């Protein structure tokens, strides 16, 4: 890349939503020398950023005043809409500011937000991420961005502090890519869980089976990371079952809007929903293993 044409790092950044992902991402921005203003519905979570140099705001409008880039990391599309348009963030944004929504929401919601912000002279990218809290802490997230190419280039130096970013198309395309990511993740978790449980029920050593198939065509990051969690029965929440279920439902809603049949995703939506109904809501999405074990009378 020609470094002479590389955009400079936007230094005034607001981060709205300081949760499991927002905190390490905002901290990385602080450590890179950005002037960060932070807001969270429960202020105590945002206060954790003060030792790293961030300013904590009482309202979204206060957080976004006089910044170049606003990053939102909120639970769902309804929360993004509420913060941007009901809680007053849009009133605090200066014309020409760029809202980068890194939440995971429906593509149609991202397109709607982009249209409404544009009426106020505010730019928008939907740029959801994959990689979990480990990726957020290490700056190795996969970032899928939808919107105008010029806006993507403008914020690329920020993305490079957080991971690897790819511009995948117009508004909403970033969310489509994230839905694809979550479909593959959720379905593959189910495939790994079912296969390992079959081996255990049949008398094989599950840990050794995982070891044996590593490196072959069945190998994957899911087999390595989530498969190990299944072997260890470690289902402490990194990415919640409820979040995975939300993403499967968003994928099905989007499929319905565009007339696409997604039978495999439909099956796994039902499986994750059953797991949540059986008390797994606050566990890691690898806990689909527990639901499949329950169905087979295994503990």
Reduced to 3 states (helix: H, G, I; strand: E, B; else coil), residue 56 is: strand
Q: Quick one: CA torsion of 65, 69, 74, 76, rounded to 10 degrees?
A: 110
Which one is catalytic: 164, 178, 201, 237?
178
Establish whether 246 is a catalytic residue.
no
Q: Which helix (H) or strand (E) holds 31?
A: helix 22-31
CA pair distance 87, 17, nearest whole angstrom: 13
**Maximum Cα–Cα distance across the chain:** 65
| 144-147 long-range Cβ contacts below 8 angstroms, 24+ apart | 144/168, 144/173, 144/174, 144/177, 144/178, 144/181, 145/174, 146/107, 146/110, 146/170, 146/171, 146/172, 146/173, 146/174, 146/175, 146/176, 146/177, 147/114, 147/123, 147/171, 147/174
How far CA 135 is from CA of 88, 116, 275, in Å, comes to 31, 31, 26
Gyration radius of the chain over CA positions: 20
> What residues are labeled active site?
178
């Amino acid at each position: 890349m020609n470094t002479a044409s590389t955009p400079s790092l936007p230094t005034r950044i607001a981060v709205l939503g300081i949760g499991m992902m927002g905190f390490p991402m905002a901290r990385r921005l602080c450590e890179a020398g950005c002037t960060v203003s932070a807001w969270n519905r429960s202020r105590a979570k945002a206060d954790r950023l003060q030792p790293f140099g961030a300013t904590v705001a009482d309202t979204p409008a206060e957080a976004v005043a006089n910044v170049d880039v606003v990053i939102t990391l909120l639970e769902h599309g309804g929360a993004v809409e509420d913060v941007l348009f009901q809680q007053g963030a849009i009133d605090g944004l200066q014309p020409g500011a760029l809202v980068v929504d890194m939440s995971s929401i429906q593509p149609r919601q991202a397109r709607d937000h982009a249209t409404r912000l544009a009426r106020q002279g505010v730019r928008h990218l939907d740029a959801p991420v994959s990689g979990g809290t480990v990726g957020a802490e290490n700056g190795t997230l996969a970032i899928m961005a939808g919107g105008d190419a010029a806006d993507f280039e403008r914020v690329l130096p920020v993305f490079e502090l957080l991971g690897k970013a790819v511009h995948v198309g117009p508004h909403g395309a970033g969310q489509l890519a994230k839905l694809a990511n979550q479909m593959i993740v959720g379905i593959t978790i189910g495939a790994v869980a079912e296969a390992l449980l079959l081996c255990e029920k049949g008398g094989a050593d599950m840990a050794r089976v995982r070891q044996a198939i590593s490196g072959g065509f069945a190998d994957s990051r899911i087999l390595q990371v989530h498969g190990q969690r299944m072997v260890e029965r470690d289902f402490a929440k990194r990415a919640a079952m409820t979040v995975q279920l939300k993403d499967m439902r968003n994928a099905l809603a989007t499929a319905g809007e565009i007339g696409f049949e997604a039978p495999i995703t439909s099956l796994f939506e039902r499986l994750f929903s059953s797991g949540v109904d059986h008390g797994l809501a606050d566990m890691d999405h690898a806990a689909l293993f527990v639901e499949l074990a329950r169905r087979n009378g295994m503990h």
